[in-house]
């Protein structure tokens, strides 16, 4: 059978674009459809704009630190609109880069939604049908709101980059990556932030000692972090006053009106917590989870398995139950990180277009949480490692030179988890400014199977925070 192309990719995020380009480099005829902006979540409404906001928020402490070092620097004022304009200019530039990369690789782009109609054919929104030998689903994920009356009033992470003005008071609901990063960012930009998390501690899945230090630092910065707390009810201002309850239809209408004007600063919202507190904020940001973008793609109709959360079910080679269809990235809900989606895309190309079956390697993936301070981690937590067998824990917490000189009580953490029997470093955890940069390099050693003695043989770079990783000689506990 003659196909219109060798590969049709649905989704123009980092994973889909990389797979398309690398497949085209083999001489394959490749087409790609993206219904929104090229670059996907990471470039347009995730990693990139978030990290630029991290940079912006970090300057808040700079004047006071500079004065401690003898510089005569005033406090200054943050101009959200000036920053936002430059931010969107940069995102436009990056989207253009992605398009040029695809064009330069010979990939045909369709600015359209696409869905599968059979194992070898997709239909575009305009009715055109395109046949393909292979189809790759790379549609990513999306933020979701909780099932809560009045949740229509809340914002999600996609909305943060489009504020017409920064709110004065913001409630963030959630305790994961996005919730904690956004809390630190917006507090740093001058917003009064309250954060509710229903669990006992934020950043579930990370090392307990490390996430505890991050929580302490967030509270010290002024964030009102409340664990064991959730929203019991929410609505427009006045709707939750004692003795008053607006009719459900009226609440829904007010919610739609508020949401339509949310990004222009309208509000505020009334919130009652599960602890009984009633408060008013300008906005509520739900950072309570993301869901794979698998709806309406025609997958189940052709026999592709969809999991309980909407994830596309694949094997170790990213292949679905339909042999001609593969899926990578957040839509599979395996490890939802941009570099992982890119690596899954590369493994797909190796498997399909180079005839070298390459399973995806999801072991020892480093991660960074861009709170202030940052948290970087690779490998097992102390808690996970203890379940595997005897371990030694090497850890130190101290005031780093730069901020201590300026009078700050902020502390950092360097921690290694070591297998007693093999001496292999099972995990590395860092809480410190620039922890993301440090953990990237430490992850190389951990991935290679370095032992504690390999770390010990490495000469320290002095004076640095990271030198503690190679100077800790005695375990703090076993």
Catalytic residues: 462
Task: Indicate the pairing of strand 224-227 with strand 231-236.
Answer: unpaired
DSSP string, 326-368: EE-GGGGTSS--HHHHHHHHHHHHHHHHS--------SS--EE
Q: How many residues does the chain have?
A: 478
Helical packing angle, 47-58 and 80-105, nearest 10°: 150
Burial of 468: CB neighbours in 10 Å, binned 0-12, 13-18, 19+: buried
Burial per residue of 242-264, b for 16 or more beta-carbon CB atoms within 10 angstroms, e otherwise: eeeebeeeebeebbeebbeebbe
Radius of gyration of the CA atoms of the chain, in A? 24
What are the E-state strand segments in 244-312?
269-273, 278-281, 283-286, 290-292
DSSP string, 218-257: HHHTT-EEEES--EEEEEETTTTSTT----HHHHHHHHHH
φ and ψ of 280, to 5 deg: -120, 135
Number of H helices, E strands in the chain: 14, 21
φ and ψ of 337, to 5 deg: -135, 140
Q: What share of the chain is helix, strand, coil (3-state, %, to 5)?
A: 35, 25, 40
Residues 292 and 312: beta-carbon distance below 8 Å: yes
Residues 274 and 232: beta-carbon distance below 8 Å: yes
Residues 6+ apart with CB under 8 A from 15: 40, 138, 140, 328, 329, 338, 341, 342, 344, 345
Q: How far is CA 434 from the centre of its chain?
A: 17
- Quick check: helix, strand or coil at residue 99? helix
Residues 6+ apart with CB under 8 A from 2: none
Q: Is 463 left (phi over 0), alpha (psi -120 to 50) or beta?
A: beta
């Amino acid at each position: 059978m003659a196909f219109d192309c060798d590969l049709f990719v649905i989704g123009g995020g980092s994973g889909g674009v990389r797979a398309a380009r690398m497949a085209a480099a083999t001489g394959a005829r490749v087409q790609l459809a993206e219904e929104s902006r090229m670059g996907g979540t990471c470039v347009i409404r995730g990693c990139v704009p978030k990290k630029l906001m991290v940079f912006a928020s970090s300057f808040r402490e700079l004047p006071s630190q500079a004065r401690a070092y003898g510089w005569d620097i005033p406090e200054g004022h943050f101009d959200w609109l000036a920053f936002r304009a430059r931010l969107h200019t940069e995102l436009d530039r990056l989207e253009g880069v992605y398009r040029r990369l695809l064009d330069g690789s010979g990939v045909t782009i369709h600015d359209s939604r696409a869905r599968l109609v059979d194992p070898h054919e997709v239909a575009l929104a305009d009715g055109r049908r395109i046949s393909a030998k292979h189809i790759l689903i790379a549609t990513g994920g999306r933020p979701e709101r909780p099932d809560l009356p009045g949740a229509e009033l809340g914002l999600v992470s996609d909305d943060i980059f489009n504020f017409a003005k920064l709110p004065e008071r913001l409630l963030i609901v959630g305790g994961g990556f996005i919730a904690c990063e956004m809390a630190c960012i917006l507090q740093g930009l001058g917003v009064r932030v309250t954060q509710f998390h229903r669990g006992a501690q934020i950043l579930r899945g990370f090392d307990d000692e490390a996430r505890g230090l991050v929580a302490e630092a967030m509270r010290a910065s002024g964030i009102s972090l409340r664990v064991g707390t959730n929203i019991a009810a929410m609505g427009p201002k006045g709707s939750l006053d004692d003795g008053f309850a607006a009719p459900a239809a009226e609440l829904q209408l007010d919610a739609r009106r508020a949401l339509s004007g949310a990004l222009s600063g309208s509000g505020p919202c009334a919130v009652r917590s599960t602890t009984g507190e009633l408060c008013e904020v300008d906005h509520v940001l739900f950072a309570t989870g993301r869901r794979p973008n698998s709806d309406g793609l025609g997958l189940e109709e052709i026999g592709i398995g969809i999991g309980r959360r909407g994830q596309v079910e694949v094997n170790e080679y990213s292949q679905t139950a339909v042999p001609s269809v593969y899926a990578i990235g957040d839509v599979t809900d395996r490890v939802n990180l941009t570099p992982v989606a890119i690596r899954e895309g590369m493994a797909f190309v190796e498997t399909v277009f180079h005839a070298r079956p390459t399973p995806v390697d999801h072991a020892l993936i480093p991660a960074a949480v861009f709170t202030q301070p940052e948290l970087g981690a690779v490998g097992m937590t102390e808690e996970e490692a203890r379940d595997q067998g005897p371990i030694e824990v090497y850890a130190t917490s101290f005031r780093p030179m730069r901020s201590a000189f300026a009078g700050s009580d902020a502390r950092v953490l360097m921690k290694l988890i070591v297998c007693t029997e093999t001496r292999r470093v099972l995990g590395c955890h860092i809480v410190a400014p620039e922890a993301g940069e440090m953990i990237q390099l430490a992850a190389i050693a951990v991935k290679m199977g370095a032992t504690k003695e390999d770390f010990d043989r490495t000469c320290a770079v002095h004076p640095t925070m990271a030198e503690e990783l190679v100077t800790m000689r005695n375990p703090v506990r076993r």
